[in-house]
Amino acid sequence: MAIYRFRPILKPVIWGGERIIPYKGLDSAQHCVGESWELSGVAGDESVVAEGPEAGTTLSELIDRHRERLVGRRNYERFGSEFPLLVKFIDARDDLSIQVHPGDELARARHGSFGKTEMWYVVDAAEGAHLRSGFARETTPEQYAAAVADDTICDLLCDYAVRPGDVFFLPAGRIHSIGAGSFIAEIQQTSNITYRIYDFNRRDAAGNTRELHTELAKDAIDYTVLPDYRTRYVPSDGRPTTLVDCPYFTTALTETVQPLTLPLDDADSFTVVVCVEGSGTICDGCGSETFVRRGETLLVSADSQQIGIRPAERMKVLTSRVK
């Protein structure tokens, strides 16, 4: 097996910024790129192997070919050729819509899809960068609908100033919005189901507003109020620090200037490696290795014995796998 790199899928959008192209070191003239889908099994937006003997192979074809050796026995039994995670970089020049994602049960009943639990790691933040996550005070479904109708929904939500390294976990049902100036890495369940609640009355170049799903969202929202929606953690130089450990995925942050080996602990899962800073070599203990730089994402197969990191400079990497 190999360590796989995939072609990024770039998404120009009305709220997109100009940071993704230079961050990833791409030779592209595209503008307003709001998203780079790094690893995707979503139909119509499926990742394709970028290099090596299997270049041009789609992610689902790769899974069909290598099965549990690539994704792990339990993952193959549960998901078949559908890859269970979607990994993105997101650059918000303007506020994204306020939205929510349904959980598995509701998404399956309404759309025949998985739900969408996700996490954000803030890679960079412009001056004044912010995002919204969760309700700031007790809110009923009726109060939520009224606030959308009279343009005061933002007043009900927690608004966070953000800086690089901030982490937010967003279980399905949590109302949220990525705010202007935020540049984030997002790891989520494979699902493209989004209920757009409020879009700041924006219009596109043709004068059209985007479709809203205010009523569909009403039953999908978790109205629980928490004292803080930011994930608190203490980074450890040279050792992985767990950021998220949920039923859908686990994600850790590793920062190092020294070579090290990340334990796999019989994970029976592929590992996604997202390089958010620096550069260096990733190896799998089975003879495969590849150089990775800031803004690149790799897929390491489940049959790897270990994941080694040999930094060329200080590196920060996110590693994520499915239990």
Catalytic residue positions, numbered:
196
CA–CA distance, 314 with 292 (Å, rounded to integer): 13
Integer distance in angstroms from the first to the last C-alpha of the chain?
Answer: 21
Cα–Cα nearest to 5, from 55, 50, 39: 50
The phi and psi torsions of 255 (rounded to 5 degrees) equal: -120, 130
* Residue 265, C-beta contacts closer than 8 angstroms, at least 6 positions apart: none
**Can you say whether the dihedral through the CA atoms of 128, 132, 9, 314 is positive or negative?**
positive
Contact 37/86 with Cβ under 8 angstroms? yes
Q: Distance between alpha carbon 192 and the CA centroid of its chain, in Å?
A: 12
In sequence order, what are the beta bridge partners of 299? 4, 272
Tell me which DSSP letter residue 316 carries.
E
Neighbours of 125 (CB within 10 A): 20
Neighbours of 313 (CB within 10 A): 11
Residue 231 has which token pair?
A: 């994930």
Neighbours of 210 (CB within 10 A): 11
Residue 233 has which token pair?
A: 């953690």
Contact 255/164 with Cβ under 8 angstroms? no
CA–CA distance, 1 with 193 (Å, rounded to integer): 32
Cα–Cα nearest to 42, from 191, 164, 186: 191
Residue 7 has which token pair?
A: 């072609």
Cα–Cα nearest to 198, from 131, 144, 119: 144
